[in-house]
Amino acid sequence: MNLEQLNKVAVKMVTPGQGLLAADESTGTIGKRFDSINTKSTEDKRRDWREMLFRTDDAMRNHVSGVILYDETIRQQAKDGTRLVDLIKANDALPGIKVDTGAKPMAGHPGETITEGLDGLRDRLNEYYELGARFAKWRAVIEISNPDTADRVTPTWGAIKANTHALARYAALCQEANIVPIVEPEVLMGGYHGIQTCYDVTQNVLKSLYSDLHEQGVHLEGTILKPNMVVAGKRCPVQPSVEEVAERTVQVLKACVPSAVPGIAFLSGGQDNVQATENLNAMNQIGGFPWNITYSYGRALQQSALFAWQGEDANYDAAQKAFNHRAKMNGLASMGEWSPEIEAAGG
């Protein structure tokens, strides 16, 4: 384990003005996204889509510090034979890899999940390092039930603890392999809960996470946190303002996240493109953090480009223009410099 190198990589991942492109959709997930543009999800089409993103030089060079890849993608070559990993590195961005094998129903905890993938992870991490990965991602899923209709109120402490323990074991294995772990405990935003419930659950999850990371000997200086923002559930009739989301999110981070962590890269969690940018910008306008705060977005970076592309080579330039715009907007938001006027003006 090279702690100096791990810290150097972690700091680069949260370079001011840059963030992470989450291009680690599973074959099933990207298939659903391709369905939305009536495009068949073949290996070549998936390759073409991601190659287009990685060849968008302005976005990749100036606003993307790293790319989270899927197992298929880290092994793929572009049409001209160049490894996709090398396209990423050519723009001074870091290749990363998703290593969990998904959230599965948790025994004894109806309605809750546990993320799997620890078996054989040491060997997989060593292979991924040889393939070029310098950071990894593991996502835990925490769902808040509707107390008015659920037979069992979730999340339970048992499910929270099991998931944060798995995140800590994964993180320790990553650092052993000289790979920076992104720890991602996502409190889902799809329910009926209000912002206070999200705050309380997020606080419990983060406290459990940092306790487990400490117990497992993880060096925080070589980690990145990828959390949810503190928001109300999408079905909640009372939705908070941008200012309240920013204030409550910063409040819970200050209460739970040690200053040794180099940076926090938020997931978008189903927010629309501009909403994810606006909330990130509002947090950075508050400022005064011990960590850099940026983005690790998938759909919120890719969706407008996907709709512009439509699976057609003829739309390559339009798709790259859309990706450039969203990357630039989020780069500005990561420094608190975004505005609706810049958004409307197209950057």
Exactly one of 226, 321, 328, 343 is catalytic; which is it?
Answer: 226
Q: Which among 66, 82, 65 is positioned nearest to 24, based on CA atoms? A: 66
Residue 147 is predicted with a pLDDT of 67
Rounded to an integer, the average pLDDT of 17-40 is: 95
285 closest CA partner among 230, 331, 337, 250: 337
Q: Which of 112, 184, 278, 343 is catalytic?
A: 184
pTM: 0.96
| CB neighbour class for 241 (10 Å; exposed up to 12, middle 13-18, buried from 19) | exposed
Categorize the per-residue pLDDT at 49 as very low, low, confident or very high, splitting at 50, 70 and 90: very high
Structure confidence by residue, pLDDT tens digits, 135-166: 999 999 999 987 666 567 899 999 999 999 99
| Pairwise CA distance, residues 75 & 71, whole Å | 7
H or E element at residue 114:
strand 113-115
Fold (topology level) of 3-344: TIM Barrel (3.20.20)
User: In this predicted model, what pLDDT tens digit does every residue of 210-245 receive, in sequence order?
Assistant: 999 999 999 999 999 999 999 999 999 999 999 999
Between CA 79 and CA 9, with CA 133 as vertex, the angle to 5 degrees is: 125
Spatial separation of the C-alpha atoms in residues 101 and 105, rounded to whole Å: 13
Distance CA 263, CA 17 (A): 13
Q: Given pLDDT bands bounded at 50, 70 and 90, which one contains residue 29?
A: very high
Residue pair 234/191 in contact (Cβ under 8 Å)? The answer is yes
Per DSSP, 96 falls in state E
Q: Which pLDDT band holds residue 345 (cuts at 50, 70, 90)?
A: confident
pLDDT at residue 269, rounded to an integer: 87
The answer to whether the beta carbons of residues 281 and 275 sit under 8 Å apart is no
**Two tokens, residue 17:** 């003005």
Q: What is the pLDDT of residue 149?
A: 64
Residue 236 DSSP label? -
pLDDT at position 77: 97
Does 116 qualify as catalytic in the annotation? no
Which residue type sits at 311? G
The dihedral through the CA atoms of 203, 21, 193, 113 has a sign that is: negative
Token digits of residue 15: 């370079």
Spatial distance between the Cα atoms of 229 and 250, rounded to a whole number of angstroms: 9
In tens, the pLDDT along 270-285 reads: 898 999 999 999 999 9
Instruction: Reply yes or no on whether 184 is catalytic.
Output: yes
Q: Are 75 and 50 in contact (CB under 8 A)?
A: no
Asked if 235 and 288 touch (Cβ cutoff 8 Å), the reply is: no
Q: What is the pLDDT of residues 161-211, one digit of tens each?
A: 999 999 999 999 999 999 999 999 999 999 999 999 999 999 999 999 999
How do residues 305-336 score in pLDDT, each as one tens digit?
Answer: 999 999 999 999 999 999 999 999 999 999 99
Mean pLDDT rounded to a whole number for the chain: 96
Sketch the domain layout of the chain as residue ranges.
3-344
